[in-house]
Structure 1
Amino acid sequence: MSTASARYTGQLRTEATHNASGNTIITDAPVDNHGRGEAFSPTDLVAASLGACMMTIMGIVAERHQLDLTSVTYEVTKHMAAEPRRIRQIDVQFRLPASLPEKERALLERAARTCPVALSLNPEIVQEVSFVYE
């Protein structure tokens, strides 16, 4: 079975369905590239996928070590290059509890940096990842 099915709905918009669950997402071209910017652009999804993948892998490690990460948040910022138009850099900033011991911090940070999306992105895309403990 394929992972997703999608259709073009016009006006630079697509609707994709995750085949196993039936969940859908809409993509829209960004305003600076002829779109309406009313939904994630395809490159926004790449950036968001990096953060989500890192958080998921950290969650797997946390469960294995009985760590509670439910208060962890992260922000993702995508930077585009003009010529050719492509993702130049993705910044991911995690905010984690200051109570995490150094050993667990190192485990989580290493896990985040080795997630499958991070390892799959073109090496020319800078991945600036930071961890703030507060």
Structure 2
Amino acid sequence: MATSKITYTGDLRTTSVHLKSGKEIITDAPTDNQGKGEAFSPTDLLATSLGNCMLTIVGIAAKNHGFDIDGTTAEVTKVMAENPRRVSEIRINLQFPGNNYSDKDKAIIERSAKTCPVAHSLHPDIKQEITFSY
């Protein structure tokens, strides 16, 4: 079964529908590539997916090991390169609330984040710079 259906709606905009839930995501081309920049660009989604995946996998690990990461945020910065135009680097700063994480918890968090499926799916030429703020 398909995961999503994407419709080009004109003026460099798409609407993607998650078929199981019906939830929608709109994308626009970025302003530096002839677009309006009124929504995530496809490359923004690529970079953001890494942060989403990391938080999800860390959340699973935290649940399995008896601690929580509720309120944790990921600040994502995408760096573009030219010739060919592509994502060259993704910087993620994971910011954990409070300071009640043991050294064991931190090791679980950091290992889990760096081994999420999206991190493993990205081309090795895309630099992944991950920082953890506790």
Across the aligned residues of Structure 1 and Structure 2, the Cα RMSD in angstroms comes to 0.6
Match of residue 17 from structure 1: 17
What 5-or-longer segments of structure 2 have no aligned partner? none
User: Secondary structure of the equivalent of 2:101?
Assistant: coil
TM-score normalised to the size of structure 1?
0.97
Match of residue 117 from structure 1: 118
What 5-or-longer segments of structure 1 have no aligned partner? none
- 1:97-128 deviations in whole A, cap 9, x for unaligned? 32100111001100000000000000000000
TM-score normalised to the size of structure 2?
0.97
Matches of 2:34 and 2:114 in 1, distance apart? 34
- 1:3-47 deviations in whole A, cap 9, x for unaligned? 000110000000000000000000000000000000000000000
1:1-134 matches, within 5 Å, as: 1-96=1-96, 97-133=98-134
The residue type equivalent to 2:7 in the other structure is: R
By how many angstroms is 1:83 displaced? Answer: 1.4
